Amino acid sequence: MLKEMLGINTGILSDLHKDHQEVAALLQKMIDSSDARERGDLIKEIANSLLPHAHAEQNVLYKRMEKSEQEASRKFALEGTNEHAIVEKQVELLMRERDKASERWTAEATVLQELVEHHVAEEESTGFSQARSDFDSATLEKLGEQFRQQKEKLMAAG
């Protein structure tokens, strides 16, 4: 109860927040680098953490929220799934492109960073507060376990 009042992230919400911070740091590092090889390594690292995060989050959290009785939860989950698809396309584009030191690549990487920042900001405000109202703390803890298991599996499958 106190946790909810203070807005402390319980269970899955704490796992998600941790991942968001890690990815934000990697994205910044990638954009700040001017070395094509380093950028290539970083986009791979980002892909292998961001995509499993997004997929596990969809499977464990969004799918449940799509069935919520609250319209704001359903709307958040549906929009979020769509945003994940756009983020995934942008990651694929960055991996595919050869000249990772070009201005074009820098611009595309910046767009990815903006997409992720926008998505995460909505997720941690609207998404988290809807999740807190849809699920009690015990459920959020259980969803956290499921999220971690699914994400690890997806990461191992590469």
DSSP 98: S
From the CB of 61, what's the least distance to Fe ion, in Å?
8
From the CB of 57, what's the least distance to Fe ion, in Å?
5
Q: Kindly write down the DSSP assignment for every residue of 3-19, as one continuous string.
A: HHHHTPPPTHHHHHHHH
* Separation of alpha carbons 31 and 22, rounded Å: 15
Q: Write the interaction track for Fe ion spanning residues 49-78; mark x where CB under 5 A is met and - where it is not.
A: --------x---------------------
* Separation of alpha carbons 55 and 117, rounded Å: 18
Total site size for Fe ion, rule CB under 5 A = 3
Longest dimension (CA), the chain: 52
Q: Specify the residue, 105 or 140, whose C-beta has the smaller distance to Fe ion.
A: 140
From the CB of 84, what's the least distance to Fe ion, in Å?
6
Chain positions 84 to 143 lying near Fe ion, rule: CB under 5 A, are 123
From the CB of 98, what's the least distance to Fe ion, in Å?
29
Q: Where are the alpha helices (DSSP H) in 33-102?
A: 36-57, 63-65, 71-96
Q: Specify the residue, 16 or 143, whose C-beta has the smaller distance to Fe ion.
A: 16
Binding stretches for Fe ion (CB under 5 A): 16, 57, 123
